[in-house]
Amino acid sequence: MKRKIRMGMVGGGRDAFIGGVHRMAAALDGEIELVCGAFSSTAEKSKASGEDLMIAPDRCYGSFEEMIEKEKLRADRMDIVSIVTPNHLHFAPAKMALLNGFHVICDKPVCLTLEEALELKELVAQTGLTFGLTHNYTGYAMVKHARHLIKEGLIGKIRKVIVEYPQGWLSFPVERDGSKQAEWRTDPKRSGVAGAVGDLGTHAENLAEYVTGLQISEVLADITSYVEGRVLDDDANVLLHFHGGAKGILTCSQISNGDLNHLNIRVYGELGSLRWTQETPQYLVHRSVDGQRIFEPSVGELSPVANAATRLPFGHPEGYLEAFANIYRNFARTVLKQGNGETPSEFDLDFPTIDDGIRGMKFLEAVIKSGKSNNQWVKIE
Amino acid sequence: MKRKIRMGMVGGGRDAFIGGVHRMAAALDGEIELVCGAFSSTAEKSKASGEDLMIAPDRCYGSFEEMIEKEKLRADRMDIVSIVTPNHLHFAPAKMALLNGFHVICDKPVCLTLEEALELKELVAQTGLTFGLTHNYTGYAMVKHARHLIKEGLIGKIRKVIVEYPQGWLSFPVERDGSKQAEWRTDPKRSGVAGAVGDLGTHAENLAEYVTGLQISEVLADITSYVEGRVLDDDANVLLHFHGGAKGILTCSQISNGDLNHLNIRVYGELGSLRWTQETPQYLVHRSVDGQRIFEPSVGELSPVANAATRLPFGHPEGYLEAFANIYRNFARTVLKQGNGETPSEFDLDFPTIDDGIRGMKFLEAVIKSGKSNNQWVKIE
Amino acid sequence: MKRKIRMGMVGGGRDAFIGGVHRMAAALDGEIELVCGAFSSTAEKSKASGEDLMIAPDRCYGSFEEMIEKEKLRADRMDIVSIVTPNHLHFAPAKMALLNGFHVICDKPVCLTLEEALELKELVAQTGLTFGLTHNYTGYAMVKHARHLIKEGLIGKIRKVIVEYPQGWLSFPVERDGSKQAEWRTDPKRSGVAGAVGDLGTHAENLAEYVTGLQISEVLADITSYVEGRVLDDDANVLLHFHGGAKGILTCSQISNGDLNHLNIRVYGELGSLRWTQETPQYLVHRSVDGQRIFEPSVGELSPVANAATRLPFGHPEGYLEAFANIYRNFARTVLKQGNGETPSEFDLDFPTIDDGIRGMKFLEAVIKSGKSNNQWVKIE
Amino acid sequence: MKRKIRMGMVGGGRDAFIGGVHRMAAALDGEIELVCGAFSSTAEKSKASGEDLMIAPDRCYGSFEEMIEKEKLRADRMDIVSIVTPNHLHFAPAKMALLNGFHVICDKPVCLTLEEALELKELVAQTGLTFGLTHNYTGYAMVKHARHLIKEGLIGKIRKVIVEYPQGWLSFPVERDGSKQAEWRTDPKRSGVAGAVGDLGTHAENLAEYVTGLQISEVLADITSYVEGRVLDDDANVLLHFHGGAKGILTCSQISNGDLNHLNIRVYGELGSLRWTQETPQYLVHRSVDGQRIFEPSVGELSPVANAATRLPFGHPEGYLEAFANIYRNFARTVLKQGNGETPSEFDLDFPTIDDGIRGMKFLEAVIKSGKSNNQWVKIE
């Protein structure tokens, strides 16, 4: 039976940033309905935020515990819990949601430690519930097409990968000037052991592994906190070794002044290379000694997976929210079909899961360890 | 009182293209709810489409007449009618909706003739209802910022405008190969007297007048139907004169093979110029003899109107749907506020209206007249 | 016998601009040697300029007449005369050079009137001497490759051509602020009947006809002098009809504030399109409904004519001077081989001639006529 | 006294690549004259090459030793020796030229070992002769402008530098397929201990140090020979530490399939960043949290050093040869002025010297050492 998936949200109240992104992404395709939320840390604030969102007051809860307890009792209860809080508040609601039979879609990094991530994986396995992680950048059609082309052998065996995620917005100590976003992201209690490496590096790692189909085997990292007084890293330069022999560079930064949100990747194979950059996500460039070709959504014959991630005819640019929405839509369709006893298609299942979360935590911990131990190679199991 | 605006849709059933765009645009911000529709030409087809969209079967109507009649009787009746049919089916539902107290948001061009457009304007005036026209390209933040900068005098008095809207998808006679989109767009009965000029030229005209704040006073047009057997123009090269002395060029085309959806504009003033192109809509380029500067959403200090049209932090690209959604959101907020007896803000009121529709019809008729009368200048009153 | 071609120059003294360009272009390949000149309007000034250029004082002449007379008597006399004076000073030295047995390479437009141009053509025919015209933009490798691809049928029958040559440096009345370049270019006595149309429009016309292999059959022009007090046009918007049915737009401008030297062309055929822009001359873009491909010098398999116009391996950008040098080199090789009784290759002969000059004059006169007679179509015989 | 500097060349016969580049660069400005050469390894071959170049047969020598001995005896003897042979043949002719009173301009890297480079430095100091090294990429106007802007403080204290020099032409074992260029560049006997690091890495290092004004203090390198059977590195990923605290990444590669000659640099300071890429060398991008600005030659007010390196008005692109010619021109002017007892200007002196050669050798040796010793930090004294 076709029906809208009902979503409850943890976090995302007034002042938050990423909550609104999740809501727009979930709303875009008309397949998900926000029905309740524990938007803020108090019932009152949560209700105020819920009012903005036109959520019934009795479904605006003061805590995720309350939301889960009360929703469980409703016939029209939420199907999925979307967790959009700062990093340190991912684990507890995710765990409780799973334990109470709710599917979970969670912002990244999945939690604060690898240990927590492994516990969630265990719970997902036990409950059979669906767990999505919003590594949204893999939602772009041209990222999916790159993955497809590499799988098909277009550029041959991969030799080298350069993946970068530079931002510049923390070039100044804005965490001391009242930026809430900056505050929690630079605070080890709320962000975990990593700053830029957790916030951006894990996206870059996820993108690289998704596109290439390879796994990073070890890292050697030079990490820095450039801004005085900042405890967490705001920059990292990382050498990469992949299983199978490819090598690479990953750099992520919050002090690359003038870079906006410049995630980009270049993958070099024996026969050619592919390049993609998030700020103009509609272009995927293939280069080889024979020349240069640019792929664009809906132009010519593309992979089915790219087409499935595209909503518009060519020349009508889709952006960040559309890519984010692809994660939500695929997650929701998987939840719906499994609920209906149907088998999700390979396209439905194309969203990041707890396994991506675990990769991210392993990567993050290895980078920090290398950075703090005189730049030695650290293996990722 | 804050509440979701309830929308009924005319057209947009299975196989249609633009209907889905309107629905995603309307859904994005969570302020509009699709509650009913006359999606197709029969009740059966309409219900099938409605099922896809999870609309209650009793609100999937077999005709717009039925929809308007029945919705009128409901307490939870739709507030607005969204018209997404081919051009020849805009006028009748728009008129009936207005006559029955429903606000209207309509795809462009507003109707088939200037006469019809003037009749709608009269009705809008009489009823006091709100009429929106989805000239969606003016919904982009950087288009709004360009308009703002010109108003502020950044580039001085305008001398020259070049606006282009080339597409290439009708380079071949695809209307005879089963493309429904191509069929009606090349059919004078359904599209009106103009082909490319109606479909694309009116967007270009609207963009030029919106950005510059100037009105075109006369046109001289060279129009062509390149593809054998095609009755309507698929290409036009138009010289422009603006009130106040500026001149320009407008070209629109469906046979510019290799162009996707390459709407773009350059405005030259005495002190500098501004350039924007739809396929990378996040960039607005300012050039002068002193150099080149690029504006991007959320970067540095931008105009309030640009900020109001932006949902994301810098470097997170927004695209076609977000621009389209700006039209819907502003329209819906205006409807809501006026319904609540509040005064809409200038940002709420920033959407195209019946007046833009009338400009479009005047432009279109003048271009076709010039093109068919030996390329003479034809005035636009 | 291989030897350097000896060049005398008319014009190009201190303060001149284009003279230095010609000298660098001639010098680049080491096949031409500047041996004498009538660089300025007096013997004294000419000697001063010659000293800068390390020319023997006795070969720095006070007038072109003196240069031609005296050089004729030398055993090591110049082979070719390079004319780099303002437009009104092209005809007389060209004529005298030809009458005295010297080959001529001349800046464009070839002279002030079509009549003069036809007289030069007659002289070239009578004398059997070689006449080169520095429509330098056709010297770019990627322009030549575009011509080749079109000839080969890559984009099918041509439907539409858009060629633009906007500059912005005359946005202000700099001719009254001491700019010598601006002075003569805006002065009908020295520039002829056309301003932007002569200086830039003829380049655009030449580029369009070179690349497409088509000739313009008629023009309809809207010409303007935007800057108060300026007599000659500083902007023109021109509709084009080509023999064979293609149509197009040509615009040239000196008041497109912010445009540097933005010559560019798009050619649309039935099967695809080609695009080239002078400010990044190393890229030639081919687009069709199947996608986008970028040609670059020395990348993959290119046409022999493109390779012949390229000096460097891929990724080593060549620019304006190299394109200009291609004209000089081909001209000089033709002169040398014909002097040696050899047959120049098709690549040697690939430079603009007096015929291009005549096309330019016809175009220019037709545009001005249309612009001054109420924007009617004017045929080009 | 103004006169042309007379140049003799070592290497650069038929089949060579870089010799022709040096000759065009030297010829462009008409200030240097090629008068003699030891172009090839035998007198016969040298004469054949000399004939192509229109050099008098008696000045086409069979060895550099012969050239130096015989030229010394001529009144019109060469002033400078240009050395364009493979790396292993730089040291001997440079040394002999200096010992015999000739200035030297030499391709990079300056020689095979740091020891040799130090010996040359000693000789330069003793003889007072001028030694130029063709790190040509610092000849670009926008590179010089970047250096200037950084010196002026535009981007504040430098935090991070990313410099890349990827090429792809050695992605396949072309050294075994008859490519002479590939043969010697992959042969340790002729190239030295480094492959990509010597050929490309030293350019990248030189560019980074030139632009930033900082020196690299230590490196940690991951070097690879991807192509089977290749002895020298064809790829290196290098972490950088600079004196003063900045960090960075340098990567150079010959197996980055699809990259042409993609040298590029990004410098991040506390206040903003500058970006430049060699394949579109006319653009220098400045970015900060306030937005993006693009510098171009001759546009607006630029630094005198950038203007001195620019020959053309804006919009007339200059490329690789013009940048190379800037090195030659400055070197020649310095030689000329010092010969005339005049003081060269700071612009004349703006070319790479033996000191740059020594930095390059130190860098190269440190990178190889780090790469071969388990990726430890290696200091550069």
Q: Does C300 touch chain A (CB under 8 A)?
A: yes
DSSP assignments along B172-200, one per residue: S-GGGTT-HHHHHHT-HHHH-S-SHIIII
The pLDDT of residue A349 is above 80: yes
Contact list in A for residue B320 (CB cut-off 8 A) is 312, 316-318
Question: What angle is formed at CA A53 by the lines to CA A51 and CA A58, rounded to 5 degrees?
Answer: 50
User: How high is the pLDDT of residue A362?
Assistant: 98
- Asked if D296 and B291 come within 8 Å (Cβ–Cβ), the reply is yes
pLDDT above 90: percentage of residues in chain B? 96
Q: Report the distance separating Cα B10 and Cα C138, nearest Å.
A: 54
CA dihedral D149, D151, D155, D160 (to 10 degrees): 120
| Residue ranges making up the domain that contains A364 | 140-310+359-379
Average of per-residue pLDDT values in chain A? 97
- The 10s digit of each residue's pLDDT in C308-333 is 999 999 999 999 999 999 999 999 99
Beta strand pairing call for D5-10 and D32-38 = parallel
Size of interface A-B (CB pairs under 8 A): 108
Q: CB-based burial of residue C73 (10 Å sphere; 0-12 exposed, 13-18 middle, 19+ buried)? A: exposed
Beta strand pairing call for D273-277 and D216-224 = unpaired
**Is the same domain home to D184 and D97?**
no
Q: Does A157 touch chain D (CB under 8 A)?
A: no
**Is the same domain home to C104 and C83?**
yes
User: How high is the pLDDT of residue C381?
Assistant: 87
Q: How far is D379 from chain C (nearest CA, A)?
A: 33
- Asked if A29 and B28 come within 8 Å (Cβ–Cβ), the reply is no
Size of interface A-D (CB pairs under 8 A): 117
User: How high is the pLDDT of residue D102?
Assistant: 98
User: Does residue D31 contact residue D59 with C-beta atoms inside 8 Å?
Assistant: no
Token pair in block for residue B214? 């100037």
- The 10s digit of each residue's pLDDT in C104-116 is 999 999 999 999 9
- Which one of A133, A168, A200 terminates a domain? A133
Would residue B111 count as lying in a domain? yes
**Is the same domain home to D14 and D98?**
yes
Q: Report the distance separating Cα B130 and Cα C72, nearest Å.
A: 85
Which of B175-179, C8-12, C44-48 shows the lowest per-residue confidence on average (mean pLDDT)? B175-179
Total domains in chain B come to 2
- Asked if A291 and C292 come within 8 Å (Cβ–Cβ), the reply is no
Alpha-helical runs (H) found in chain C: 18-27, 43-52, 64-72, 91-99, 114-127, 141-152, 180-185, 188-191, 196, 202-212, 304-308, 320-339, 354-372
Q: Does A187 touch chain C (CB under 8 A)?
A: no
Contact list in D for residue A286 (CB cut-off 8 A) is 258
**Is the same domain home to A112 and A155?**
no
Q: Does D73 touch chain C (CB under 8 A)?
A: no
Contact list in C for residue A289 (CB cut-off 8 A) is 299-300
Within a 10 A sphere around the Cβ of D343, how many other Cβ atoms? 10
- Of residues D160, D168, D257, nearest to A235 (C-beta): D160
Token pair in block for residue D267? 């410098």
Nearest Cα to Cα of residue A232 among A102, A330, A364, A49: A364
- Of residues C289, C291, C299, nearest to A294 (C-beta): C291
User: How high is the pLDDT of residue C240?
Assistant: 98
User: How high is the pLDDT of residue C17?
Assistant: 86
Q: Report the distance separating Cα A137 and Cα A146, nearest Å.
A: 13
DSSP assignments along D66-104, one per residue: HHHHHHHT-TT--SEEEE-S-GGGSHHHHHHHHHTT-EE
Alpha-helical runs (H) found in chain D: 18-27, 43-52, 64-72, 91-99, 114-127, 141-152, 180-185, 188-191, 196, 202-212, 304-308, 320-339, 354-372
Mean pLDDT of C52-75: 97
Q: Report the distance separating Cα A293 and Cα A274, nearest Å.
A: 10
The pLDDT of residue B72 is above 80: yes
Contact list in A for residue C300 (CB cut-off 8 A) is 289-291
User: How high is the pLDDT of residue C80?
Assistant: 98
User: How high is the pLDDT of residue D324?
Assistant: 98
**Is the same domain home to C247 and C374?**
yes
Average of per-residue pLDDT values in chain B? 97
Nearest Cα to Cα of residue D197 among D362, D4, D326: D362
Mean pLDDT of B221-239: 97
- Band of the pLDDT at B374, cuts 50, 70, 90? confident
Q: Does B270 touch chain C (CB under 8 A)?
A: yes
**Edge-to-edge strands, sheet with D131-133:** D32-38, D5-10, D80-83, D103-106, D131-133
DSSP summary character for residue D116: H
Chain A: partners with 3+ C-beta pairs within 8 Å = B, C, D
User: How high is the pLDDT of residue C1?
Assistant: 73
State the complex-level ipTM: 0.96
Would residue D238 count as lying in a domain? yes
Q: Does B300 touch chain A (CB under 8 A)?
A: no
- Which one of C133, C158, C193 terminates a domain? C133
User: Does residue A145 contact residue A306 with C-beta atoms inside 8 Å?
Assistant: yes
- Asked if A290 and C300 come within 8 Å (Cβ–Cβ), the reply is yes
Token pair in block for residue A77? 């209860």
Contact list in A for residue C289 (CB cut-off 8 A) is 299-300
Which H or E element spans position C12?
none
DSSP summary character for residue A342: P
The pLDDT of residue A381 is above 90: no
Chain D: partners with 3+ C-beta pairs within 8 Å = A, B, C
**Is the same domain home to A55 and A204?**
no
Would residue D195 count as lying in a domain? yes
Would residue D339 count as lying in a domain? no
B251: CATH: 3.30.360.10
User: How high is the pLDDT of residue C236?
Assistant: 98
**Is the same domain home to B114 and B239?**
no
**Is the same domain home to D90 and D117?**
yes
Phi, psi of A293 (to 5 degrees): -135, 140
- Band of the pLDDT at C341, cuts 50, 70, 90? very high
User: How high is the pLDDT of residue A66?
Assistant: 98
Residues 314-333 of B with CB under 8 A from A: 314-322
- The 10s digit of each residue's pLDDT in A301-316 is 999 999 999 999 999 9
Contact list in D for residue C23 (CB cut-off 8 A) is 30
Q: Does D271 touch chain B (CB under 8 A)?
A: no
User: How high is the pLDDT of residue D261?
Assistant: 97
User: Does residue D208 contact residue D268 with C-beta atoms inside 8 Å?
Assistant: no
Q: How far is D10 from chain A (nearest CA, A)?
A: 31
- The 10s digit of each residue's pLDDT in C227-245 is 999 999 999 999 999 999 9
Size of interface B-D (CB pairs under 8 A): 34
Mean pLDDT of A282-294: 96
Token pair in block for residue C31? 């096949």
Beta bridge partners of D132: D105
Would residue B254 count as lying in a domain? yes
Beta bridge partners of C9: C37, C82
- Asked if D292 and B293 come within 8 Å (Cβ–Cβ), the reply is yes
What is the b/e burial string over A46-67, where b = at least 16 CB atoms within 10 angstroms of the residue's CB?
Answer: bbebbeebebeeebbbbbbeeb
- Which one of D84, D106, D133 terminates a domain? D133
pTM (predicted TM-score)? 0.97
Low-confidence ranges of chain D (pLDDT < 50): none
Contacts of C374 (CB under 8 A, 6+ apart): none
- Asked if D30 and C34 come within 8 Å (Cβ–Cβ), the reply is yes
Token pair in block for residue A312? 């518009």
User: How high is the pLDDT of residue C130?
Assistant: 98
Residue to mutate among C316, C328, C336, with most D CBs inside 10 A, is: C316
Residue B277, SS3 per DSSP:
strand
- The 10s digit of each residue's pLDDT in C13-59 is 998 889 999 999 999 999 999 999 999 989 999 999 999 999 999 99
Token pair in block for residue C132? 């080169």
User: How high is the pLDDT of residue B1?
Assistant: 72
**Is the same domain home to C259 and C368?**
yes
- Asked if C257 and B237 come within 8 Å (Cβ–Cβ), the reply is no
Would residue D350 count as lying in a domain? no
In chain A the first and final C-alpha atoms are separated, in Å, by 42
Would residue D351 count as lying in a domain? no
Q: Report the distance separating Cα C187 and Cα C175, nearest Å.
A: 9
Four-residue CA torsion sign, D67, D72, D78, D81: positive
Contact list in C for residue B162 (CB cut-off 8 A) is 251
Contact list in C for residue A292 (CB cut-off 8 A) is 293-294, 296, 299
User: Does residue C215 contact residue C209 with C-beta atoms inside 8 Å?
Assistant: yes
Would residue D344 count as lying in a domain? no
Residues 277-296 of C with CB under 8 A from A: 289-296
Nearest Cα to Cα of residue C367 among C263, C224, C228: C224
The pLDDT of residue B214 is above 80: yes
Four-residue CA torsion sign, C31, C35, C38, C39: positive
Contact list in A for residue B23 (CB cut-off 8 A) is 30
The pLDDT of residue A158 is above 90: yes
| Element counts in chain A: helices (H) and strands (E) | 13, 14
**Is the same domain home to B146 and B122?**
no
**Is the same domain home to C122 and C27?**
yes
User: Does residue A365 contact residue A221 with C-beta atoms inside 8 Å?
Assistant: no
Contacts of C68 (CB under 8 A, 6+ apart): C81, C93, C96, C97, C100, C102
| Element counts in chain C: helices (H) and strands (E) | 13, 14
**Is the same domain home to C254 and C306?**
yes
Q: Find the closest chain A residue to D166 by CA distance.
A: A268
D23: CATH: 3.40.50.720
User: How high is the pLDDT of residue B293?
Assistant: 96
Q: Does B230 touch chain C (CB under 8 A)?
A: no
- Band of the pLDDT at B123, cuts 50, 70, 90? very high
- Asked if D293 and B289 come within 8 Å (Cβ–Cβ), the reply is no
- Of residues C289, C290, C293, nearest to A292 (C-beta): C293
- Band of the pLDDT at B15, cuts 50, 70, 90? confident
Q: Find the closest chain B residue to A165 by CA distance.
A: B315
Q: Find the closest chain D residue to A289 by CA distance.
A: D258
Residue D265, SS3 per DSSP:
strand
Which of A189-203, B173-187, D271-285, D361-375 shows the lowest per-residue confidence on average (mean pLDDT)? B173-187
- Of residues A220, A248, A272, nearest to D375 (C-beta): A220
